[in-house]
Amino acid sequence: MDLFDAIHSRVTIRTFTGKKIPKNDLEKIVDAGRAAPSAVNRQLWDFVIVTEKKTLDDILHHFSAGRKYNTHEDGKFDGCSAIIAVVLSETNEYWKEDGSSATVNMLLAARALGWGSCWIEGGLRPHEDHFKEILDVPREKRMLLMIALGEPVKWSPPPQKKSLSEILHWEKY
Ligand SMILES: Cc1cc2nc3c(=O)[nH]c(=O)nc-3n(C[C@H](O)[C@H](O)[C@H](O)COP(=O)(O)O)c2cc1C
């Protein structure tokens, strides 16, 4: 898939069919994250891929009563077949930027490979310590976010985005 097609057709997916994602695709997705820019090229990130059903259930049941995050679906993650946890260290002053940078690459890679994804950050925060424990993430690290992945039950059109003319300023604000 062309990069611009992936950018413009990527949409947050929160309901999946349960189809298994091949290991090779999951590695390709993390490999795309690995190639992302990071401050001073420090690459102070780790990625945990979770595919075991028991662990997925253990994590995902925390969202079953999830608040509404977008305009067209509830945030339940039914049928999610993999999660990628994005782990960084707060000692890196750019930890959030670095983690977000890798994440966008991974969301686009997932789209290009035909998988749906959801960036889970707000929903993760109240449970971060629990998730770190489940995944054996060292206590001194932070889990910035998780990416839920799977085959979409349906590809919804992306939600309305602001038009270019609303947000683009040439030369001066
Ligand atoms: C920083 C950040 C945090 C987010 N946290 C959550 C979350 O906890 N749960 C969730 O379902 N979606 C979450 N999302 C996904 C957004 O709701 C989604 O990207 C937004 O509604 C725009 O939709 P789109 O991704 O389809 O363009 C998050 C996105 C970002 C960038």
- 83-101 pLDDT tens trace: 999 999 999 999 999 999 9
Q: Residue 129's domain spans which residues?
A: 3-167
Length of the chain (residues): 173
User: Using a 6 Å cutoff on CB, does residue 84 contact ligand 1?
Assistant: no
Nearest by Cα to 104 from 20, 41, 9, 10: 10
User: Using a 6 Å cutoff on CB, does residue 120 contact ligand 1?
Assistant: yes
| pLDDT value at 4 more than 50 | yes
| pLDDT value at 68 more than 60 | no
In a domain, 172, yes or no: no
In a domain, 152, yes or no: yes
Better-scored residue on pLDDT, 92 or 67:
92
SS3 150: strand
Residues 59-86 have a mean pLDDT of: 75
Q: Choose one of 63, 67, 70 to mutate for the ligand 1 pocket test, by most ligand atoms within 8 angstroms of C-beta.
A: 70
Nearest by Cα to 34 from 84, 83, 81: 84
In a domain, 8, yes or no: yes
In a domain, 173, yes or no: no
Report the CATH number that the domain containing residue 20 is assigned in CATH.
3.40.109.10
User: Using a 6 Å cutoff on CB, does residue 18 contact ligand 1?
Assistant: no
Residues 114-142 have a mean pLDDT of: 95
Q: What is the mean pLDDT of the chain?
A: 93
Residue 62, pLDDT score: 86
Residues 143-151 have a mean pLDDT of: 98
Residue 74, pLDDT score: 54
Name the domain count of the chain. Answer: 1
User: Using a 6 Å cutoff on CB, does residue 80 contact ligand 1?
Assistant: no
In a domain, 44, yes or no: yes
In a domain, 142, yes or no: yes
User: Using a 6 Å cutoff on CB, does residue 107 contact ligand 1?
Assistant: no
Residues 118, 82, 157, 72, CA torsion sign: negative
pLDDT band at 72 (very low <50, low <70, confident <90, very high): very low
In a domain, 61, yes or no: yes
pLDDT band at 65 (very low <50, low <70, confident <90, very high): low
| pLDDT value at 113 more than 70 | yes
End-to-end CA distance of the chain: 34
